Structure 1
Amino acid sequence: MHEAVETDFAEQGRLLFAGPCDFIFASAKASDLPVIGPPEIAFAGRSNVGKSSLLNALTNRKTLARVSNTPGRTQQLNFFALGGAPGAERLRLVDMPGYGYAAVGKEKVANWSQLMRDYLKGRASLARVFVLVDGRRGVKPLDEEMFDLLDQSAVSYQVILTKHDELKIAERDEVLAATTKALEKRPAAFPEVIFTSAQSGEGIAELRAAIAKLMAERNA
């Protein structure tokens, strides 16, 4: 029975992300946030962690999110309508500004940080934040700061490890175990860590299934 349920979520996830996905809104400050509508899934992570590449792989698009060799290009909250025309979408994806890029001015970093705090505070439609962590490096202090913010905001979050294809098997097992352990005592963290690769497609179906399951639980 358990296997059948999981297979069903995998299919639901495939169908959800096979549908239309369109950019609908960009917010540079809290006062510009769109009116609350369908559930929102946000993606956060250090600059250059591969967030844009993962969003493109997740949605079967090549250019949904801008991929750049220059970290820090995402300077606002970008909202995408998934699974229906804007206004009738089943879900919204939110691309959050990357954090930890030292070459960006302190004032701009402060503005981004405040925008993220304002968004996380009391956003009733926010179902979960997926925090991307570079699988080659594991959880770093800046990632821990993001975990702290999410714990303090009482926002459910789940860690997604990236760049699975760039590690050896033993290295993958090691970073997965270390990441899982780092989340053990965090109150808002979802315990399951998903290892992904935007290049090979590893973990993408699993991530889609996790999102479909979350939506089913939220609508139950």
Structure 2
Amino acid sequence: MVGGEGENNRGSKSFESSLELSPEQIEAGRLLFAGPCDFFHGAQQLEQLPDPGEPEVAFAGRSNVGKSSLINAVTGRRSLARASSEPGRTKQLNFFNLANKLVLVDMPGYGFAKAARAVKEDWQEMMFSYLRGRPNLRRVILLLDSRIETKASDREVMELFDLAAINFQVVLTKCDSVKPRAEKARYQNVMEEVGRHPAAHPVVIPTSSETGRGIPELRAELAGFAQP
């Protein structure tokens, strides 16, 4: 790894070489996310889902993984996505229209320790039904916290994606809070985990909502699913 323990992570490309994007792809991502992005629908039950239209990319992750912060960073908005004050209580799927070319879906957080078992089971049933039955869903972005190890609930969700045959891509969050050596070890562990799942995309993107690291790359990845 380039640099020592004290080197700032911002702009580091040390172990991100598997993500090869051209300047044109990066610019396409920038232009797409410079367009309007607005909330247009919320669904707490499957029958409330909007009719399939533009391609969809969904964001999933444990409670407190930084999902709202990442969505806000990617879209360049301060409060487009809002974290629930009561983790585990909100089961709503939130839909955001990005320039009439792509729909971003904010999925409820999982892994909430204080939630009742029935709530967890309801989450899994609804999410599996959404994942399996949504024809325009192109990918799920699965957020994992770079500061902590992969939890059993994370693995359960990966298995859910495998069963639903939905392509998912892991994005590491809060990388600005981890020293390079620890981050590299975490990255390698996640890559090993990803290799065990047939539905997983092989590229893992380290990000930071605070410094902007990885945001242009994630935008470019998502732009690849947008309508012309």
How much has 1:214 moved relative to structure 2?
Answer: 4.0
Aligned residue in 2 for 1:51: 67
Q: Deviations over 1:60-97 (max 9, x none)?
A: 000100135643364210000001xxxxx100000001
Query: The residue matched to 1:102 in structure 2 has which SS?
Result: coil
Q: Greater relative contact order: 1 or 2 (C-alpha under 8 angstroms, separation 6 or more)?
A: 2
1:31, 1:148 → 2: CA distance? 25
Q: How does 1:93-132 map to 2 (within 5 A)?
A: 93-132=104-143
Contact 2:88 2:119 in 1 (8 A): no
Flag the 1:180–1:140 CA change in 2: closer, same or farther, 3 A.
same
2:161 aligned partner, one-letter code: L
Aligned counterparts of 1:119 and 1:9: Cα–Cα separation in 2: 29
Question: 2-side partners of 1:113 and 1:178: how far apart?
Answer: 25
Higher mean Cα deviation, 206-215 or 36-45? 206-215
Q: 1:29 to 1:167 in 2, by over 3 A?
A: same
CA RMSD of aligned residues (A): 1.8
Q: Secondary structure at the match of 2:218?
A: helix
1:180 aligns with 2:191: yes
State the partner residue of 1:21: 37
Shift of 1:138: 3.2
C-alpha separation in 2, matches of 1:111 and 1:9: 39
Please give the per-residue CA displacement for 1:93-137, whole angstroms capped at 9, x wherever unaligned. 000010010212222222222210110112110000000001001
Q: CA offsets per residue over residues 120-162 of structure 1, 9 Å max, x none?
A: 1121100000000010013221111010000111000000000
Equivalent residue number for residue 193 of structure 1: 204
Q: How many angstroms apart in 2 are the aligned matches of 1:206 and 1:184?
A: 21
Structure 1 residue 30 corresponds to structure 2 residue 46: yes
Deviation of 1:31 after TM superposition, in Å, equals 1.0
Please tell me whether residue 159 in structure 1 is matched to residue 170 in structure 2: yes
Q: Which moved more, 1:51-60 or 1:65-74?
A: 65-74
Displaced runs of 4 or more, over 3 A: 67-70
**TM-score, structure 2 length as denominator?**
0.87
2: distance between equivalents of 1:4 and 1:172?
Answer: 20
- Please tell me whether the aligned partners of residues 74 and 96 of structure 1 are also in contact (alpha carbons under 8 angstroms): no
Rounded Cα–Cα distance in structure 1 between residues aligned with 2:120 and 2:21:
43
TM-score (norm. length: structure 1): 0.90
For the residues of structure 2 that align with 1:157 and 1:6, how far apart are their CA atoms? 22
- 8 Å contact from structure 1 (residues 44, 96) kept in 2: yes
Q: Is the 8 A contact 2:56 2:104 kept in 1?
A: yes
CA gap of 1:11–1:69, structure 2 versus 1, over 3 A, is same
Per the alignment, residue 93 of structure 2 pairs with 77
Contact 2:57 2:140 (8 Å CA) reproduced? yes
What residue is the counterpart of 1:39 in the other structure?
A: 55
Pick from 72, 76, 79: which aligns with 1:60? 76
**Structure 2 gap segments, 5+ residues each:** 1-18
1:8 aligns with 2:24: yes
1:24 and 1:80 in contact (8 A); partners too: yes
- Do the aligned partners of 2:74 and 2:219 also contact (CA within 8 Å) in 1? yes
Q: 1:15 to 1:74 in 2, by over 3 A?
A: farther
Q: What is the aligned counterpart of 2:215 among 184, 190, 204? A: 204
What is the total number of aligned residue pairs between the two structures?
A: 210
The reply to whether residue 90 of structure 1 matches residue 106 of structure 2 is: no
